[in-house]
Amino acid sequence: MSALRALGYAGDAVVSPSSTHTAEDAAAAAGCELGQIVKTLAVYVAGAPLLCLVPGDRRLDDRLLAARRGVGRKQVKLASAEQVLALTGYPIGGVSPFGVPSPLPALVDESMRRFETVWIAAGSASAILPIRLDDLVRYVSAEFAPIAT
């Protein structure tokens, strides 16, 4: 939260008594549509780390991501749990695109444009927070791209 506060975010996290580890669990805790949940995925493309922000009702499409980055599909690999923790500082299920040890390039699936407000993990498997999509994109210096189906 401190990384977000430094950027001017004034909202509060919602801490669920149960896990928000899955998009379905997070949507239930937030009382929102499944697509409003942002899955923050750490991916390696041709060996370079990248954050992919995908709506909860979609899946990252490695073919679309490979085409976007100009590489073959086999050069797209999801980061392991250990790699996710090293890259982001967060465990799988609680990965926030904010407060990572070193800034990472980020892509946001263009289908998220259908929502004004989305929900992201707040650093643990039981905390989420709402954020305006425009702010999310601006704060993480992300760009929109078709990366999910």
Distance CA 54, CA 51 (A): 10
Domains in the chain with CATH codes: 2-145 (3.90.960.10)
- 1 — pLDDT class (breaks 50, 70, 90): low
| Cα–Cα distances in angstroms (integers) from residue 120 to residues 53, 70, 99, 140, in the given order | 9, 28, 13, 12
Condensed to tens digits (0 to 9), the pLDDT of residues 13-49 reads: 777 777 787 899 899 989 999 999 999 999 999 999 9
**pTM recorded for the entire structure:** 0.91
